[in-house]
Amino acid sequence: MSNNFNYYTPTRVVFGKGTEEQTGALVKAQGCRKVLLHYGSGSARKTGLLDRIEKSLQEAGIAYVELGGVVPNPRLSLVYQGIALCRKEGVDFILAVGGGSVIDSAKAIGYGVVNEGDVWELYDRKKQATGCLPIGVVLTIAAAGSEMSSSCVITKDEGGVKRGYASDYCRARFAIMNPELTTTLPDYQTACGCTDILMHTMERYFTNGGHMELTDSIAEGLMRTVLRNAEILRDHPDDYEARAEIMWAGSLSHNDLTGCGIQEKDFASHALEHEIGGMFDVAHGAGLAAVWGSWARYVYMNCLDRFEMFALRVMEVEPGRDAQETALRGIEAMEAFYRRIGMPTSLRELGIAPTDEQLVELARNCSIASGGKKGSAKVLQEADMLAIYRASL
C-alpha cells in the first residue's frame, strides 16, 4: 500500500566535467554580499580545486572569507568558530567545498548564525530551527548525499556525541558535481562512499511502512547500479562513467526519491553507526558495513517479504527452498560484496574492539538519540540495540 508523501528537493544540480568553473556565476546569482568558503583538511587545496574556486569567485567579483580544517565526523568546535567568523564578517552565504563532513559543518554554521542561542540545542532536541544561511556545494566525494538532503550530522568534541538534525532550511541552493573531482579519493573512501549510498536506499527499502512499485523499481535500479559500479571503481578508479553513476546515485539515494510512498524509514543501522562514529571516530560508510549484517540477521524475519525481494531483485541470488533461505542468501551476498570492495563486516574488521561496558554505553546513547526506539523493519529498543552491537563484534 502506498502512502501520501511530500517530496521537496529544491537543489539545483549542475553535473559533469568542468562544472566547478561555474561556481562564481552560481554564487553571484544568489545575490549575496559575502561568502564563507568552507573546506576540509587538505585534499581540496592539494588537488588545486580550491585555487580554481577562489579564481572563479574573484572573477565574479564576490567577496569571501575562508575557513578550512573540517575533519570527518565534523566537530562542533569548528562550527562555533565558523559562526563567530560569519557574524564578524557579515557573511550571508556559505560555499561548502568537500564531502558530507564539510557540507554538514556548513549547514550547522548556517543554523548557528540565524538561530539565537547555542546551535547544539538543535542536535540535542531542545529547540527547532527557524532558518539557516543559504548553502551552496562543490561536491568532492560521492557518499553522504548531504548535497541534496535535509539532514546535518555533527559531533560534539567532549564525549564524542554524534547527533543529526534535519530540516528543509538547510537544503543546498545548488550542488556542483563533477565526477572527475572524486578520482583523487583514496580507494577506501570511494568504497565507504558506495556503502553509504547503498545504505541510504536500503534504510528506506527495508520497511513495514508500505511501498510503491515505482519507488521500489527506482530503489532496486539504484542499488544494482551502485553494486556494479563500485566494483568497476575498485579495479579502475579513473573510470569516469562509473564515477558519474556513483555520484548521481549518491544524491538520489538521500534526497528521498527512494522513500516516496513509504511511511516509515528504518535508519536503525545509521543510528547504530552514529554512536560508533562518535565514540571511535571511524569512517561512516565503513561503520555501516560493520554493523549491517548483524542488524539484518536480527530483523529479517520481521520484514521477510522485503528481504526476499532484495535478495532476488538486487543481489540476484538463486531462490532458496523458502523465503527465509532466500533472504539469508541475500544478506550473505551483500556481506560478500562489502568484503570484495574492502569494507568490514564486523567491528573487529573495522579495527575497533569495544569492551562490553562500551557496548552498553553505545546502546544506551543510541536509544537516547532515537527517542527510545528506532526502525521499521523491526522496531528496536535499547536491549535489541545492545544485542546487535554484541553480534557485530
Which among 86-94, 192-200, 202-210, 334-342 is the span making contact with Zn ion, rule CB under 5 A? 192-200
Residue 99 is a binding residue for ligand NZQ (CB under 6 A): yes
The residue within the footprint of Zn ion, chosen from 147, 196, 266, 335 (CB under 5 A), is 196
For residue 347, how many other CB atoms are within 10 A of its CB?
23
The answer to whether the Cα torsion of 376, 377, 383, 386 is positive or negative is negative
Residue 143 is a binding residue for ligand NZQ (CB under 6 A): yes
Q: List the single partner that 67 binds among ligand NZQ, Zn ion, none, CB under 5 to 8 Å by kind.
A: none
Residue 195 is a binding residue for ligand NZQ (CB under 6 A): no
CA-to-CA separations, 258 to 300, 308, 368, 380, in angstroms, rounded: 20, 18, 27, 23
- Closest CA relative to residue 288, chosen from 208, 379, 201, 215: 201
Minimum Å gap between C-beta 230 and ligand NZQ is 14
CB of 183 closer than 8 Å to CB of 19: no
Binding mask 270-299 for ligand NZQ (x = CB under 6 A): x------x------x---------------
Residue 372 is a binding residue for ligand NZQ (CB under 6 A): no
- Closest CA relative to residue 287, chosen from 210, 214, 188, 171: 188
> What are the φ and ψ backbone dihedral angles of 238, each rounded to 5 degrees?
-90, 5
Binding mask 251-270 for ligand NZQ (x = CB under 6 A): ---x---------------x
Rounded CA gap, 58 and 228, in Å?
A: 40
Strands 135-139 and 151-156: unpaired
Minimum Å gap between C-beta 41 and ligand NZQ is 4
Residue 100 is a binding residue for ligand NZQ (CB under 6 A): yes
Minimum Å gap between C-beta 369 and ligand NZQ is 12
CB of 45 closer than 8 Å to CB of 16: no
**Can you give the binding site for ligand NZQ, defined by CB under 6 A?**
40-44, 72-74, 98-102, 104, 140-141, 143-146, 149, 151-153, 181-182, 184-185, 189, 193, 196, 254, 270, 277, 284
**Can you give the binding site for Zn ion, defined by CB under 5 A?**
196
